[in-house]
Amino acid sequence: MPTVHITVDQMDHSSSRGQAGDHSHIMDRPEAKGGQNKGPMGGQTLLMGLGGCFMSNLLAAAKARNIEINNARAKIEGELADAPARYTDIHMIVTAQCSAPGELEKLVTIAERGCIVANTLANAVNLTIECG
């Protein structure tokens, strides 16, 4: 399997820039935590990464089956614990307008199985994905 390479570089006293190929993403801490609020925190970025990975698989699954999908949304909630700080549970609810409404749950299952991030997290936290 190929290896994915990214870099994360310090920008200033609280923020960093992640670089993946031609794309970059700024991360920071909120002002209340000593940051400048230039971007989401790394933990929020992890949840966005899950959503983005899942969504690309969902849209690809629909396209491969000639199913039109619009207004797709993945609402993701992460339950935090302390000592050590981590997510213990991550729950995603997927909604969409689908030209074949009865197929949405099947598409969600296909997307979950194909999502690198979901497959990685499923062995680390209680991860649930469902249609809403």
Is the per-residue pLDDT at 132 higher than 90? no
Predicted confidence (pLDDT) at residue 1 exceeds the cutoff of 90: no
- Judge whether residue 104 has pLDDT over 80: yes
Q: How many residues does the chain have?
A: 132
Taking residue 63's Cβ as centre, other Cβ atoms within 10 Å add up to 11
Model confidence at 84: pLDDT above 80: yes
Q: How confident is the model at residue 10 (pLDDT cuts 50, 70, 90)?
A: very high
Question: Angle at the Cα of 48 (from 90 to 21), degrees rounded to 5?
Answer: 140
Instruction: Enter the pTM of the model.
Output: 0.93
Residue-wise pLDDT for 16-70, tens only, equals 999 999 999 999 999 999 999 999 999 999 999 999 999 999 999 999 999 999 9
